[in-house]
Amino acid sequence: MENLSPLTNSSSKEDMFSDFILESIRDGIISFDLNGVITSANTATQTILDLSVKEIAGKPYKKIFLENNPIYHIIEESLNSKKPYDDLDIIYPLNGKKISLRVSICVNYNRTKEIIGIILIIKDISNLKRIERNIRNERLIAVGRLTGSIAHEIRNPLSAMKINLQLLEEQMDSSSNIPQQEKLLKYIKIIHSEIQRLDTILQNFIRFSRPPSIKYKSVDIHLLLDNILSLLLPEAQNQGMEMEKLFLATNPFISGDDNQLEQVFLNIIINSFQAMPEGGKFQVKTEEELLTNSVIIEFLDTGEGIAPENIDKIFDLYFTTKPEGSGFGLSIALRIIKDHNGTIDVESKKGVGTRFVIKLPRKSGNFV
């Protein structure tokens, strides 16, 4: 078929039918031999990856995908292991921007059941990811309104409990005739501590339902990240952690609220540190997306990773896997980034690590 590579020269009706099916599929499909040389590709590959099918035919994958390209490593791993991989969500660089892809690899056998190569299947899920983000944002707005209403209803009785408990504690301190006074004071302190914890949760409710307005100014992303990393350096050293910065050659500036962005970055970095209690590697990278004039900030760790069943829940309000977690951190982070007209995405593999990617719009030209 003309749109397939010259190496796929079908003559039988069976092969022609197979070619017809391949050309009808909207997913990109590329086959490789055991040496990693491309043996065929369908038209959807050209549409999704902007690669000429005729030009890539007969070439090794290392000539098509750069080593820093996520597809490069997926192909390499599959060729080495001869194992399939299902539904790997990656962020793929394309023409100065990044798109979301879902990649699978299956092992290719001949008619005698011998392995002759691998087949790469690529689905563009950029629109799906965009819809998921919109649904998540709408859910956060609705929950935030409900939360704010509930928080205000709780605040008054909670304040009354706190005041009366303090009065009771003062009376206990001034009295020496009450039996088991020390034990009662101990119980009062426990109740006071729990009220304080409820009050903290209540403040988080209110903060989430009524976030502060953005105080726009020029924000140097590198300077902001440097300040946070310097603050957390002693903790990283205590955990035996390696920190690496891969920054753009020139400092990227955006218009935003440095305090709110600091809250987002700090939350993500602390989460990464907590995922590596025995040490590991933490990396922060900055890139620019020329097509959308945006700054990309990536946070990568080699921690325990996020379970597949939890990956779509981590931005949900109240969701947490930590015993002492509140479930507010990443929900607030999502809202802040959204308020800055940006996006935040996450990729993770259990036992391997996690990657957060934040994209923020950049003004035309740097300004100070």
Q: Phi then psi for 306, rounded to 5 degrees? A: -110, 135
Calpha distance 246→267 (Å, rounded): 20
Residues 337-360, mean pLDDT to the nearest whole number: 91
Residues 149-173, mean pLDDT to the nearest whole number: 77
Q: Does 320 map to a domain? A: yes
Domain boundary among 178, 209, 240: 209
Same domain? 239 vs 328: yes
Place of tokens 């935003």: 256
Q: Does 112 map to a domain? A: yes
Same domain? 159 vs 78: no
What pLDDT is recorded for position 268? Answer: 95
Same domain? 221 vs 288: yes
The residue segments making up the domain with residue 240 are 217-361
What pLDDT is recorded for position 15? Answer: 62
Query: Which pair of structure tokens corresponds to residue 190?
Result: 């426990």
Same domain? 191 vs 151: yes
Q: What is the CATH number of the domain that holds 316?
A: 3.30.565.10
Query: Which pair of structure tokens corresponds to residue 186?
Result: 């101990």
Same domain? 250 vs 353: yes
Residue 133 pLDDT greater than 80, yes or no:
no
Same domain? 231 vs 351: yes
Q: Does 6 map to a domain? A: no
Calpha distance 143→139 (Å, rounded): 6
Same domain? 20 vs 111: yes
Same domain? 194 vs 82: no
Q: Where are the alpha helices (DSSP H) in 175-276?
A: 181-209, 221-238, 258-274
Domain count of the fold of the chain: 3
Q: Does 74 map to a domain? A: yes
Question: Contact 291/97 with Cβ under 8 angstroms?
Answer: yes
pLDDT in tens, 231-278: 999 888 988 999 999 999 999 999 899 999 999 999 999 999 999 988
Share of the chain above pLDDT 70, in %: 83
Q: Does 80 map to a domain? A: yes
Q: Does 3 map to a domain? A: no
Same domain? 243 vs 333: yes
What pLDDT is recorded for position 346? Answer: 93
Same domain? 157 vs 101: no
Domain boundary among 91, 107, 124: 124
What does pLDDT average to over the chain? 83
CA dihedral 74, 76, 77, 81 (to 10 degrees): 140
The answer to whether the pTM exceeds 0.85 is: no
Domain boundary among 209, 240, 272: 209
Q: Does 367 map to a domain? A: no
Residues 6+ apart with CB under 8 A from 59: 37, 38
Q: What is the CATH number of the domain that holds 135?
A: 1.10.287
